[in-house]
Structure 1
Amino acid sequence: MEEEAMEVEAPSGLHMGEVTSPVRRVLLVSAGASHSVALLSGNIVCSWGRGEDGQLGLGDAEDRFTPTQLSALDDHGIISVTCGADHTTAYSASRAELYSWGWGDFGRLGHGNSSDVFTPQPVKALYGLQIKQIACGDSHCLAVTMEGEVQSWGRNQNGQLGLGTVEDSLLPQKMHAFKGVRIKMVAAGAEHTAAVTEDGELYGWGWGRYGNLGLGDRNDRLLPEKVNVVEKMVMVACGWRHTISVSASGELYTFGWSKYGQLGHGDFEDHLVPHKLESLSSSFINQISGGWRHTMALSSDGKLYGWGWNKFGQVGVGDYIDHCSPIQVKFPQSQKVVQVSCGWRHTLAVTERNNVFSWGRGTNGQLGLGESIDRNLPKIVETLSVDGSSGLQIQAAKVDQSSGRSWVSPSERYAVVPGEAVSYNLHFSSYPASGFHELIISLLHLCLRTLSD
């Protein structure tokens, strides 16, 4: 689950509009459940990994094992990209337009319906708004405007939209609960949401079973409620069922689910209120990211730390053991890290030398390495890295991207990956009347996903 700020500082003095040759440098990366997206200098967007729900935006349902240019967004002036679990968004400040694509169930794309979209389409309800930050969770999204107002849309069965109801919203709706309060940033988990105000207050709402709202209990909240914190907060991120925040003094706090050690406190115990991560108290944390069951934190001196679920090597420390305390992730030539993003089972990072690294689950090509194997140490993504480019060119999409929607047979989209429980996505709007057997297939996958939790 990722929350990407619009005001991106380009590494090594790079300007947002600069185009380099032959390598365009990566300004921003974002990781979803099993796909990845990057924003390059020159406002170029690339995507790779699983494509079965259209989340790559390339006009088909094919996986891509190396970064592929999303040419439909060329010349759109994109300044930010954000992955949800199985959908993606991109924002153009010059056009004041947000685009979304991928899995459409529950209205998470904001287009007024639940249809899947296979190429970027504008969210018409937000047209003209100047947006400073987007957050995408498992199946809901939020946008923060320059004025500090919040719009939310998508799934809402636990109140994660903060609208005071449990009804899904197919279109963005303004959150009136924050009237008179300027929001700095928001973060979206699977079914919960968090926000930090310009005054440093922390709020939580939505699903709270594991204490992931930080409110001292396990109850859901349909409206934002202030979290009791001892310091002013400047940053927040959500994992699937846990939350991470950073104070103005650079201290890191975590709370919520910790079955896999994703809170980092040296144990596997849930915390119902924010708990300071003492092991990183000597570091000033300036960036955080939450995965499905793992966490990453980046310090001001460029050191990256990871902990939590590590079945596929997504912590990046050379093993497949879950870690309940932070461990530093090492990079070749001790490169400093400038940006990190956690997917469900994989992780992406950008270093100060303009190199992109990936590690963790690779079965759908989400690592961008041209293969489908897992990696437990950072591996350079050749086509996106200055040190590893060797003149390689970014692949261009070879599909017709003129139409936004496409239907793909669920029997094709839910092929079983050996040795792994499959995604639980249910695309009820896609099934023809005669497709009952395909619906049963998807229900079986839902059962497998539930058991895997």
Structure 2
Amino acid sequence: MSALPSDLELSNPREKLTKPVQATLSSLKMLDVGKWPIFSLCSEEELQLIRQACVFGSAGNEVLYTTVNDEIFVLGTNCCGCLGLGDVQSTIEPRRLDSLSGKKIASLSYGSGPHIVLATTEGEVFTWGHNAYSQLGNGTTNHGLVPCQISTNLSNKQVIEVACGSYHSLVLTSDGEVFAWGYNNSGQVGSGSTVNQPIPRRVTGCLQNKVVVTIACGQMCCMAVVDTGEVYVWGYNGNGQLGLGSSGNQPTPCRVAALQGIRVQRVACGYAHTLVLTDEGQVYAWGANSYGQLGTGNKSNQSYPTPVTMEKDRIIEIAACHSTHTSAAKTQGGHVYMWGQCRGQSVILPHLTHFSCTDDVFACFATPAVSWRLLSVEPDDHLTVAESLKREFDNPDTADLKFLVDGKYIYAHKVLLKIRCEHFRSSLEDNEDDIVEMSEFSYPVYRAFLEYLYTDSISLSPEEAVGLLDLATFYRENRLKKLCQQTIKQGICEENAIALLSAAVKYEAQDLEEFCFRFCINHLTVVTQTSGFAEMDHDLLKNFISKASRVGAFKN
């Protein structure tokens, strides 16, 4: 077994070992990068050019950002050459990283050394920085002062996501395979041994025939979510951060059995704790809890998944960062909560903040002030084609057609409707009228439909989305049908689950039907006591009981 790094030699490993940030792309309209102290070194002109950014390092003293011209700049203390400039000199002025000029970043993560792992939009992988434990994957233990493309075992693969542990690295390919390398004293590369891994090696075992959809790393552990919603874990488990009900290390992938019947969509890892987000908008946490970072109301570690209770609004995003004991989440209604370590204090229950994004939690509350993911910033001063079309929706000044629905007008443009919708292509072909009366659907539903044709998205409550699902089925708009199902899922609760299940069956929305059925089974006791269940259509009730029986819902 390889020796511990010198700065990790403690009797209590959770007090020193750190995990890298899981850096997935966010899309934020108006990101205030100025909330991170390191950006105070940049001029106002430089800040306005930033399109992506990641603040990292043991004290938040390093930053990498891309500009509107696809140039990459770095700034900071440059520990172990982590800025990739070919030297170890610190810089208080942004310096261009010429070796990656023109490359577009798809995913980026960093470790404790720090070392950097970057995936481009073309699926290439570049690494640089600290390398004492082969975490760069280039077969050596020499620090990498400049970005080096890693192709061994990845040459025919397209990498779409990267994650780093303290001193190990993990990547996910477009075909759902996971590769790992680097420090392996606790089995964190998933090879079944504790020998360090100098080059990328595919993680197999229980993942052999699974399709992985997202990954994350703890300080010395790994998480992988597969397309069925199951979570597989491996590596260090001294604080119960694998969620297996024990504290023993796991050298190969193992399924988190306690999440049986629950579909996980996202996973985020903190210093020594884990958060997962389910498709029902529920958060579960486990692992270290010395600062209340599990949000359970106490400071006791948990080795099993434990639900985190927030307001009734569903959760749509979770956040945790390798170098902090802080957790955060965002609700569908836009509320941002944080818990765990907050500027030295312990917050043991989710606390409502005044922020509009989880990133601000880490910029303002976490120590150090680092970003938990790669941030993507959209420009404010230029309207894209999509944004221009969105602005013209329901604009009477430019419209040449108006719909009269429930006594109210909705303004539209014939040419756009014909381009975007097969129904209008035929119905408006020889129609000279500039007013169309609509009585089949309600005003909110029809307005949402027309707005979708301008924006490619829907803005409607989950309850009203059922009516839009009816319209989408009638007009054979399959993509709109999928969006409606996603929106309806976000509004499901025990009281309306049967009504939504009935709607899914009526409109042949199979994905929504399966989701609603599974929700009913998971909340069977409460659902069967609702008025909706009592008034259930006879045939639907008969089919529901039959299907529920087949999945063992009525077994004692």
Q: Normalising by structure 1, what TM-score?
A: 0.68
Q: Cα distance 1:279–1:119, how it changes in 2: closer, same or farther (>3 A)?
A: farther
Q: Deviations over 1:82-121 (max 9, x none)?
A: 6454445454363213344444211112232223445654
SS of structure 1 residue aligned to 2:99: helix
- 1:156 is displaced (CA, Å) by 0.5
- 1:153 is displaced (CA, Å) by 0.5
Q: Could you tell me which residue of structure 2 aligns to residue 319 of structure 1?
A: 298
Q: Cα distance 1:383–1:243, how it changes in 2: closer, same or farther (>3 A)?
A: closer
Q: Cα distance 1:258–1:346, how it changes in 2: closer, same or farther (>3 A)?
A: same
- 1:381 is displaced (CA, Å) by 2.5
1:248 maps to amino acid: D
SS of structure 2 residue aligned to 1:354: coil
Q: Could you tell me which residue of structure 1 aligns to residue 345 of structure 2?
A: 373
* 1:199 aligns to 2:171 (yes or no): no
Larger Rg: 2
1:106 maps to amino acid: C
- Which is strand-richer, 1 or 2? 1
Distance (Å, rounded) in 2 between the aligned partners of 1:286 and 1:357: 19
Q: Percent identity?
A: 26
* 1:92 aligns to 2:74 (yes or no): no
User: Which of the residues 285, 307, 312 maps onto 1:328?
Assistant: 307
User: Which of the residues 228, 232, 236 maps onto 1:257?
Assistant: 236
- 1:163 is displaced (CA, Å) by 0.5
Q: Cα distance 1:383–1:238, how it changes in 2: closer, same or farther (>3 A)?
A: closer
CA RMSD of aligned residues (A): 2.5
Q: Deviations over 1:49-77 (max 9, x none)?
A: xx6xxxx3323xxxxxxxxx995753224
Q: Could you tell me which residue of structure 1 aligns to residue 147 of structure 2?
A: 172
- 1:185 is displaced (CA, Å) by 1.3
What is the aligned residue count?
333
SS of structure 1 residue aligned to 2:88: coil
> How do residues 263-302 of structure 1 correspond to structure 2 at under 5 angstroms?
263-302=242-281
Distance (Å, rounded) in 2 between the aligned partners of 1:313 and 1:94: 40
Q: Could you tell me which residue of structure 2 aligns to residue 218 of structure 1?
A: 194
- 1:325 is displaced (CA, Å) by 0.9
Q: Deviations over 1:179-207 (max 9, x none)?
A: 12211211111100111111111111000
User: Which of the residues 336, 342, 346 maps onto 2:326?
Assistant: 346
Q: Cα distance 1:132–1:336, how it changes in 2: closer, same or farther (>3 A)?
A: same
Q: Could you tell me which residue of structure 2 aligns to residue 359 of structure 1?
A: 339
User: Which of the residues 87, 90, 105 maps onto 1:131?
Assistant: 105
- Which is helix-richer, 1 or 2? 2
Instruction: Structure 2: give runs of 5+ residues left out of the alignment.
Output: 1-19, 359-363, 365-556
- 1:155 is displaced (CA, Å) by 0.4
Q: Deviations over 1:105-140 (max 9, x none)?
A: 111122322234456544332121012111112111
SS of structure 2 residue aligned to 1:179: coil
Distance (Å, rounded) in 2 between the aligned partners of 1:301 and 1:237: 20
Distance (Å, rounded) in 1 between the aligned partners of 2:71 and 2:59: 21
2:326 maps to amino acid: H
1:377 maps to amino acid: L
1:311 maps to amino acid: S
* 1:58 aligns to 2:40 (yes or no): yes
User: Which of the residues 105, 112, 125 maps onto 1:150?
Assistant: 125
Distance (Å, rounded) in 2 between the aligned partners of 1:71 and 1:282: 50
Q: Could you tell me which residue of structure 1 aligns to residue 32 of structure 2?
A: 44
Q: Cα distance 1:211–1:279, how it changes in 2: closer, same or farther (>3 A)?
A: same
SS of structure 2 residue aligned to 1:164: coil
Distance (Å, rounded) in 1 between the aligned partners of 2:233 and 2:76: 30
User: Which of the residues 47, 52, 61 maps onto 1:74?
Assistant: 47
Distance (Å, rounded) in 2 between the aligned partners of 1:210 and 1:193: 14
Q: Deviations over 1:230-273 (max 9, x none)?
A: 41212111111111111121111111000100000011111000
Q: Could you tell me which residue of structure 1 aligns to residue 84 of structure 2?
A: 110
Instruction: Structure 1: give runs of 5+ residues left out of the alignment.
Output: 9-15, 17-26, 28-40, 60-68, 366-371, 387-393, 395-453
